[in-house]
Amino acid sequence: MDYFFRVDSDSNIGAGHYERCYTLAKKLSQKFKVNFISTNLTLNQKKKLKKTKIGIIKINNISSISSDATNTAKIIKKGDVLIVDGYKFNNHWISFIKKKTKNIFLNNDFEKKFNCTTINPSEIFVDHVRKKFGIPIIKRNFLVDNFERQFYQIKKSKTILLCLGGSDKENYSEKIIDILSSSKLKKFKVKVILGELNTNFDNLNKKFKRKKNISIKKNIKNLKNIYAKSAFCILAGGTMSREAITFGIPSMIFKVSFNQEQNINFYKKNKIYECFNINNINKINKNLFINKLIKNINTFNFSNFLKIISFSGYDYLDRYLFLLSNRDQKPAFKLKQTSWKDFIFLFNLANQNRKKSFSKKKIDILEHYNWFKKKISSMNSKNYILYNNDIKLGQIRLDKKYKDYYIDYSIDKFYQGNGYGKIIVKLLLSKFRSKNYNIYAKNLNTNFKSKKVFTPLCVSFKKNYNKKTVIFKLK
């Protein structure tokens, strides 16, 4: 069984579809054979695939969606997994491919009904019944694991990053550079990044060559360092705006394409970024825009930083990998000690399960940060993440209270119903079997799933607090 990606990239389509697929393919290629099926890819995109040992299969003479489906179906075999990314692929195309394989996953930002598993990269949600999931697809190497250092880098930086996508055919970049040429921003360095498909490089360099604080570069390979050292971003509402969230960078986002609507709505709904429609660029008051930008930079604080980064959805990529490959791998469960790389995962996990917790109040990101900082360095707390192969499934913790230890565990809602609760508790008990610990689990009497986990493992139990709580002695 092989993995195939059906995706194209050109000046009309842009590079976002390819980048999402490449992020997934790079991870899958570590264990499986992966191929891209494409009509168009750029030279650098092909080089990236070859470097990662991902195959490229070119299909030609695509005169219609039907001929596209016919040519694609000739390549794949029964049982292969096909990941599709693009807006032209409809149910007619999917139905034709289903004659060869049922394992079809479609990346699509729009709320349409497709007869295959659908991934919306602009949202975060779980719907196993309808096989629809909101999963941001973020590069693995964009993980921040030292939050205070990253925040201080943002605060001391004097760089404003501008990028309006892979092609920017209408050359909106020029109009925004005109705004950023203001003398009010002379203390800042404006770094303009043009995508590989952008044809305006020479003209922009010629026009702004006398502006010493403006640097224009094309097709930068390593964006990680640029993100990490930027004080502010002005971006299109596509893939790069999602990436900026993982670094906690304050930003202004422009909707430059119809397919960015859901990202823009997500940012507005959660008050992450201020958003604009690029079609209104000529109506923008330059002074107000510059003043607002400077104010955002100057007033940006650690709480703002944490709020942005809390929406990164970095670990949600594991959910997609689980859907794609879990059935094809042997289970390999293990506990790993918690680190700062797990901070956002644990924050999202904690707020998923408030109904089953003793405190129902939603946890604030700054509150979680202060709690986590104490907990991870405490001698009285032992913290672990449950993995199956490389996928994070949940957390378990032992907290010492006087001479006894109490378990706290939770499984990500995406993976619930697979028996992972019992597995994580058994692994922890096994880990401390040789220690002379008294281990207890305090459980709400109405939390039937946890009671089902603890009951066969306990040596005794008792009810208290007006029978609302059960305490299990596990060891």
What pLDDT was estimated at residue 465? 55
Phi then psi for 379, rounded to 5 degrees? -75, -15
383, β-bridge pairs: 397
Phi then psi for 125, rounded to 5 degrees? -160, 165
**Length of the chain in residues, anyone?**
475
CB 378 within 8 A of CB 369: no
What separation in angstroms does the CA of 183 have from each of 176, 291, 373? 14, 12, 42
pLDDT digits (tens, 9 = 90+) for 58-75: 998 677 899 999 999 999
What pLDDT was estimated at residue 469? 83
Mapping DSSP to helix (H, G, I), strand (E, B) and coil, where does residue 272 land? coil
* Helix/strand/coil percent split, the chain, to 5: 40, 25, 35
Half-sphere exposure of 278 (CA within 13 A, CB side): 25
Taking the C-alpha atoms of residue 22 and residue 47, their distance in angstroms, rounded to an integer, is: 12
CB 254 within 8 A of CB 236: yes
Give the containing element (helix H, strand E) for 240.
helix 239-246
Query: Which residues, including other chains, have CB under 8 Å from residue 223's CB and lie 6 or more apart?
Result: 193, 240, 243
Mapping DSSP to helix (H, G, I), strand (E, B) and coil, where does residue 434 land? coil
As given in the structure block, the two tokens for residue 440 are 């207890």
Mapping DSSP to helix (H, G, I), strand (E, B) and coil, where does residue 344 land? helix
Query: Which residues, including other chains, have CB under 8 Å from residue 40's CB and lie 6 or more apart?
Result: 8, 9, 10, 13
Phi then psi for 241, rounded to 5 degrees? -65, -35
Mean pLDDT to the nearest integer, 51-56: 95
What pLDDT was estimated at residue 356? 66
pLDDT band at 5 (very low <50, low <70, confident <90, very high): very high
Alpha helices, DSSP H only, in 106-189?
147-156, 172-180
CB 154 within 8 A of CB 178: no
Taking the C-alpha atoms of residue 239 and residue 139, their distance in angstroms, rounded to an integer, is: 10
- Residue 446, by phi and psi: left (phi above 0), alpha (psi -120 to 50) or beta? alpha
Per-residue 3-state assignment (H helix, E strand, C coil) for 282-294: HHCCHHHHHHHHH
Q: What strands lie across the sheet with 381-388, from one edge to the other?
A: 333-337, 381-388, 391-401, 404-411, 438-444, 469-473, 460-464
What pLDDT was estimated at residue 462? 67
| CA-CA-CA-CA dihedral for 459, 465, 467, 468, to nearest 10 | -100
Give the containing element (helix H, strand E) for 368.
helix 365-377
Sort strands 404-411 and 438-444 into parallel, antiparallel or unpaired.
parallel
Angle at which helix 16-28 crosses helix 43-51, to 10 degrees, equals: 10
- Per-residue pLDDT for 456 more than 90? no
CB 371 within 8 A of CB 400: no
- Per-residue pLDDT for 472 more than 90? no
What pLDDT was estimated at residue 475? 65
Specify the DSSP class assigned to residue 364: P
Phi then psi for 140, rounded to 5 degrees? -65, -35
Query: Which residues, including other chains, have CB under 8 Å from residue 400's CB and lie 6 or more apart?
Result: 380, 381
Residue that wins the pLDDT comparison between 457 and 308: 308
pLDDT band at 463 (very low <50, low <70, confident <90, very high): low
What pLDDT was estimated at residue 464? 66
Taking the C-alpha atoms of residue 394 and residue 384, their distance in angstroms, rounded to an integer, is: 9
- Per-residue pLDDT for 358 more than 70? no
Taking the C-alpha atoms of residue 123 and residue 132, their distance in angstroms, rounded to an integer, is: 11
pLDDT digits (tens, 9 = 90+) for 264-301: 999 999 999 999 999 999 899 999 999 999 999 999 99
As given in the structure block, the two tokens for residue 226 are 């640029």
- Per-residue pLDDT for 447 more than 80? yes
Please state, rounded to an integer, the average pLDDT across all residues of the chain.
Answer: 91
- Which of 26-35, 136-145, 153-162, 369-378 has the weakest average pLDDT? 136-145
CB 442 within 8 A of CB 462: no
The answer to whether the predicted template modeling score (pTM) of the entire model surpasses 0.95 is no
pLDDT digits (tens, 9 = 90+) for 216-271: 998 887 888 999 999 999 999 988 999 999 999 999 999 998 889 999 999 999 99
pLDDT digits (tens, 9 = 90+) for 404-429: 999 999 999 999 999 999 999 999 99
- Per-residue pLDDT for 369 more than 80? yes
